[in-house]
Structure 1
């Protein structure tokens, strides 16, 4: 990503927050056949040190990615949207795109069958626990264990990350406030991210 110092997100806790809120990830591998990309859910392993994610690949994606043989790039995309220059002062004509994005780098560890099943159950619980009629793998363990054989689980400790929160930090407070107000109706998630870096100004 473009290196712009005031957009850099260097706090690991902020990267963790981004991952928690945005579980759909893009995995990119420099395989011997060329670049390969796949999309899977990824969640934090909250019990691990540092930033560690867990996920799974559907077979045969793990072969295409040569999973576990090299470093991969995992892209976490948070809220993002087009910002119109019509939201700025009269005469400004250059638009932009605000976003929160993290690039995570590491070499995945392939999970064994039992660890993979436990990870799949954990992944399912992550999304089902808050639902009033959520369902869980243990309700049909025999059937879900058969289906699990079509997946390969992974755990990846993040060795390094490159993250950006481009949220109109280069704009005056009143301009940023107007952008937030415009986004409140169309993209409240991005508006909330902007409020984190543009707290409301106290009344004069």
Structure 2
């Protein structure tokens, strides 16, 4: 991912927030047998790690297809993104752009034991079910626990310690304040490119910039 100093996201905390808030990710491997391989899975942070480490699982036989544990993989995290029209700027000549926040994280997966995999699967289910009015836990009943154990046998748990990453947060940091405010207003509106999530991300970025300058 090409970097630009104005948009570089070099903060572990910023990357962790991206992972926490947008846990659906793409795992990319360069394999000996098949070349490039990509799969998509939900990912959680290992909150006990000193640095950044990810917890996830893959369905069999993805662990073989990706040759997991044999080489480094890239995990792509993607946050809010959207089209920015030049009509939202001023009267000067301009071209459209795309605002986004994303990270490419690199590490070699560690394959987990069956017991560890089960704990990761339970954590994933709890993470998403916690928001439900009546959460359905993976092992909430004896019947469900028996079913979950059978399904878990078809998965492989992973822990991926992240050794390096490249992250970018492009939120119109190079635009004047009045232009940023117009962009946010358009994103908060009801037009064809409205995006409340992207507007909120822009606000957060620019509020942090103002606080840093204060």
Tell me the TM-score range normalised by the shorter chain: over 0.9
- Distance in structure 2 (CA, Å) of the matches to 1:52 and 1:91: 45
Query: Any gaps of 5 or more consecutive residues in structure 1?
Result: none
Contact 1:15/1:163 (8 A) holds in 2: yes
Could you tell me the TM-score, scaled by structure 1's length?
0.95
- Give the counterpart of 1:142 among 115, 126, 146: 146
Structure 1 distance, partners of 2:94, 2:53, is 42
Of residues 42-51 and 97-106 in structure 1, the stretch that sits farther from structure 2 once superposed is 42-51
**How many residues are paired up?**
201
Deviations 1:145-201 (A, max 9, x none): 010011011011110110000010111110011101111232111111111232398
Mind listing any 5+ residue stretches in structure 2 that lack a counterpart?
A: none
1:31 is aligned to 31
Distance 1:198 1:123 in 2: 32
- Counterpart in 2 of 1:117? 118
Q: Which contiguous aligned blocks of 4+ residues in structure 1 show a shift greater than 6 angstroms?
A: none
Residue 187 (1) aligns with residue 195 (2): yes
* Cα distance in 2, alignment partners of residues 158 and 183 from structure 1: 33
Q: TM-score with structure 2 length normalisation? A: 0.91
Query: In the TM superposition, what is the alpha-carbon distance from 1:84 to its structure 2 partner?
Result: 0.5
What is the alpha-carbon distance in structure 1 between the residues aligned to residue 146 and residue 205 of structure 2?
49
Q: What's the Cα RMSD here?
A: 1.3
Deviation at 1:93, TM superposition (A): 3.6
Aligned to 1:3: 3
In the TM superposition, residue 83 of structure 1 has moved relative to its aligned partner by: 0.3
Q: Secondary structure at the match of 2:29?
A: strand
